[in-house]
Amino acid sequence: MTTFYKWGSGTNPDAPRVDHAHDEFLITTDGERIIDAASGALVVNLGHSVPGVSELMADQSEAVAYVSTSYFRNDPAERLADRLTELTPDPLSAAFFVGSGSEANETAIKLARAYHLAQGNQRKQTVICRHGSYHGATLGALSLSGKPTRTAPFVPLLKRGPRIPAAYPYRWTYEGTPEEQAIAAARELDAAITREGPETVAAFIAEPVSGSTLGAAHPHPTYYREIRRICDRHDVCFIADEVMTGFGRTGEFFAVDHADVAPDILTVGKGISGGYAPIAAAIVTERIAETFEADSEHAFAHGHTFSANPLSTAVADHVVAQYDEDVLADVRDRGATLRSALAPLTDHPHVGEIRGLGLMYGIELVADVETQRPFDPDRRVSKRIFETCLAEGVYVYPGSGSVDGRAGDHLLLGPPFITSPESIQEIAETVIGAIESVTDESV
Ligand code: PMP
């Protein structure tokens, strides 16, 4: 029994044991205070003390915690669906609730394929994705991911669609201005669809800002405008995976808002409940939703036991109601404070790039800034920086991505939106100190 739990919490038996948490702080059973500079896994957007949640959970469980949504309706789920429709870009108008980000992406893939089937396009089944992305741990979502540590052991089990280069400007070799490079990169999708045959391609899936694999790498907004045009031209659904970037994390409600682009399907998770309940969703346009209306000849034969359960949706409804313009303004302000606090790293000989939007920052670490040569993965540079920060009371998200075979050590910083300026300063100072000591030993 416990072995599986140990796996679920990482293999390190010495990992700190969290007893309780408040604001941006985790308190261990030994009484140690750790700043949660990654909001768990960019989940706890509003911090660890969201007012009103515990009372609401008690009231909702008292009223009704669970009903099968295959046969019953419930108000919290419908309220949440309406609230999401208000917050998301315009044509998005219906939500399918599930229990995790992986399930949301599985749902999105099935929705795209079922939508094309309903249009009489039986052959539109392929999903194109990008190198170096992460869409989830379940086999379908994993098959669209480029995270070798997770995919490698299962590759023979997965049917993999074509992949286009990552949206990773730091390692792009396209010529021209950032805008021209973004257009060239987006046109890789056009080429892939053409090669594959547009009549066989159902969808393209991407994280608008790459999270766990590429440390907040993101292209010029023109990229997604061009992606939108290409998808429209070939009748391909654009799935934006905003499981990590949704709900204000990047300084807009959704990262696609930076490009003023609406996807056909938007997947969300993590911040939707701020960590208080396992819930996620695939949100679709009117055009897709009406295909599967109850009175339509087409049904979307899909669902999970915990889909749209009243307890999770009530909690998420309460949390999503907090995301407003003031929260976005806070994210931008505190993000700017974090960015300036990291400024001493700008000319560091092993910091290739500091990038990000809002309160989602990535720091790419390289052996040589001139050639952008990554560190030897055996040196575990980002892992050791993570360990050093943790020993000093700051939890950051370590990453060692891989793009077309090139490894890149990086850190991801994504503190809760309520993190105080003093804690932001402490995060930056600890990270700078750890980068200096670990990279000094690693050259
Ligand atoms: N998509 C993205 C962009 C993610 O960051 C994650 C989780 N890290 C997932 C999907 C999968 O979500 P979950 O772990 O909730 O299944």
pLDDT in tens, 388-424: 999 999 999 988 765 554 558 999 999 999 999 999 9
Domain chopping of the chain, boundaries: 18-50+324-441, 53-321
> Ligand 1, residues 151, 209, 243: which to mutate, most atoms within 8 A of Cβ?
243
Q: How far is the CA of 244 from the centre of ligand 1 (A)?
A: 7
Which ligand 1 atom minimizes the distance to the CA of 278?
Answer: 15
Which ligand 1 atom minimizes the distance to the CA of 245?
Answer: 3
Whole-angstrom Cα distance, residue 305 to residue 50? 27
- Any idea which residue has 């090139």 for tokens? 406
Residue spans of alpha helices (H) in 32-100:
39-42, 53-63, 75-87
Residue 10 confidence (pLDDT): 56
Q: Which residues of the chain have pLDDT under 50?
A: 1-4, 6, 405
Q: Is 188 exposed, middle or buried (0-12, 13-18, 19+ CB in 10 A)?
A: middle
Quick one: how far is CA 76 from the chain centroid?
A: 25
Question: What CATH number belongs to 18-50+324-441?
Answer: 3.90.1150.10
Residue 11 confidence (pLDDT): 57
Q: How far is the CA of 404 from the centre of ligand 1 (A)?
A: 21
Please check whether residue 47 is in contact with residue 23, taking contact to mean a CB–CB distance below 8 angstroms.
Answer: yes
Three-class secondary structure of residue 440 per DSSP: helix
* Residue type at 26 in one-letter notation: L
Structure confidence by residue, pLDDT tens digits, 431-442: 999 999 999 875
Report the run of H or E that residue 433 belongs to, with start and end: helix 421-442
Task: List the residue whose alpha carbon is closest to atom 5 of ligand 1.
Answer: 244
Three-class secondary structure of residue 107 per DSSP: helix
Q: How far is the CA of 78 from the centre of ligand 1 (A)?
A: 24
On average, the pLDDT of the chain sits at 93
Q: What percent of the chain has pLDDT over 70?
A: 95
Residue 70 confidence (pLDDT): 85
Cβ neighbours for 118, distance < 8 A, ≥ 6 positions apart: 291, 292, 296, 298
Which ligand 1 atom minimizes the distance to the CA of 212?
Answer: 5
- Give φ, ψ of 90 to 5 degrees: -50, -55
Please check whether residue 411 is in contact with residue 397, taking contact to mean a CB–CB distance below 8 angstroms.
Answer: yes
> Ligand 1, residues 135, 149, 150, 304: which to mutate, most atoms within 8 A of Cβ?
135
| Dihedral, CA of residue 243, residue 246, residue 247 and residue 249, to nearest 10 | 110
Residues with CB under 6 Å of ligand 1 are 41, 100-102, 105, 134-137, 207, 211-212, 241, 243-244, 269
Nearest to 166, CA basis, from 203, 216, 201: 216
Question: What CATH number belongs to 53-321?
Answer: 3.40.640.10
Please check whether residue 184 is in contact with residue 176, taking contact to mean a CB–CB distance below 8 angstroms.
Answer: yes
Residue 295 confidence (pLDDT): 73
